[in-house]
C-alpha cells in the first residue's frame, strides 16, 4: 500500500467500511478472519477483508469503498483494470507538466520554459535543464550538495 496516495483519515474510513459490511466480503460473503487454503501452494491463511476502492481513486477522500476479501479484491482489480483505456501500473498517477510545475513552485522551485530549455531557480541557486523532470532533479541535487557544504 502506498500511503502517500491515501487521505489522512484512511484508517477510520476503512474501519467504517468493514463495520458497515458486518465484517463480511460484500461479493462472496466470507467472514473477516476466516481460515482459507491457498489454490496453488495449498498453504493455510486467514482472509482479512480489505476496504477496496471501487473506482481506483485512493486520492479521493470521499471514494466509494467496498469490503472485499483478498480473492474478490484481486478479481475486481483485474476486471476493472482491463476496462481502463490508459495502460498504467496500479498505483501510478498521471499528472500534467503544468500541475508538476505548479506544485514545484509552491515549494519554492521556479521553472520557466525558454528556447534553450527549462531554467530553474530556488534559494539563490539556478540552472538550465532539458525538461521539467531534469530541472527538478538538478535543483534537488544542487540543494542537497549546498546543504552538505553548509553542514561541513
Bridge partners of 90, per DSSP, are none
Q: Which grid cell sits at 108?
A: 519554492
Same-domain status, 48 and 119: no
Strands 65-68, 117-122: pairing is: unpaired
Do the strands 50-53 and 65-68 form a parallel or antiparallel pair, or are they unpaired? antiparallel
Average pLDDT of 63-71?
90
The answer to whether residue 88 sits within a structural domain is no
Are 11 and 42 in a shared domain?
A: yes
Provide DSSP, 10-63.
HHHHHHHHHHHTTTB-TTT-PBTTEEEE-SSS--EEEE--EEEETTS-TT-TT-
pLDDT, tens digit, for every residue of 81-108? Answer: 765 544 455 555 667 777 788 888 888 8
Q: In degrees to the nearest 10, what's the CA dihedral of 66, 72, 77, 83? A: -100
pLDDT for 68 beyond 80: yes
Does 46 share its domain with 118?
no
Average pLDDT of the chain? 82
Looking at the structure, do residues 101 and 77 belong to the same domain, yes or no? Answer: no
Give the pLDDT of residue 85. 44
Res 18: pLDDT: 93
pLDDT band at 16 (very low <50, low <70, confident <90, very high): very high
- The model carries a pTM of 0.51
Q: Do 72 and 122 belong together in one domain?
A: no
Range of the domain at 109: 97-150
Q: Look at residue 150 in the predicted model and tell me its pLDDT.
A: 64
Q: How many domains does the chain have?
A: 2
Question: Do 110 and 69 sit in the same domain of this protein?
Answer: no
Amino acid at each position: 500500500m502506498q500511503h502517500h496516495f491515501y487521505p489522512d483519515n484512511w484508517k477510520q474510513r476503512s474501519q467504517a467500511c468493514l463495520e458497515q459490511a458486518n465484517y463480511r466480503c460484500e461479493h462472496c460473503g466470507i467472514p473477516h478472519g476466516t481460515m482459507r487454503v491457498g489454490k496453488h501452494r495449498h498453504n493455510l491463511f486467514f482472509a482479512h477483508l480489505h476496504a477496496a476502492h471501487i473506482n481506483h481513486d485512493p486520492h479521493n477522500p470521499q471514494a466509494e469503498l467496498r469490503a472485499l476479501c483478498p480473492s474478490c479484491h484481486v478479481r475486481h482489480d483485474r476486471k476493472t483494470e482491463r476496462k481502463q483505456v490508459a495502460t498504467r501500473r496500479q498505483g501510478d498517477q498521471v499528472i500534467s507538466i503544468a500541475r508538476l510545475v505548479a506544485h514545484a513552485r509552491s515549494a519554492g522551485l521556479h521553472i520557466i520554459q525558454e528556447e534553450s530549455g527549462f531554467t530553474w531557480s530556488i534559494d539563490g541557486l539556478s540552472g538550465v535543464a532539458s525538461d521539467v523532470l531534469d530541472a527538478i532533479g538538478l535543483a534537488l541535487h544542487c540543494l542537497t550538495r549546498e546543504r552538505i557544504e553548509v553542514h561541513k
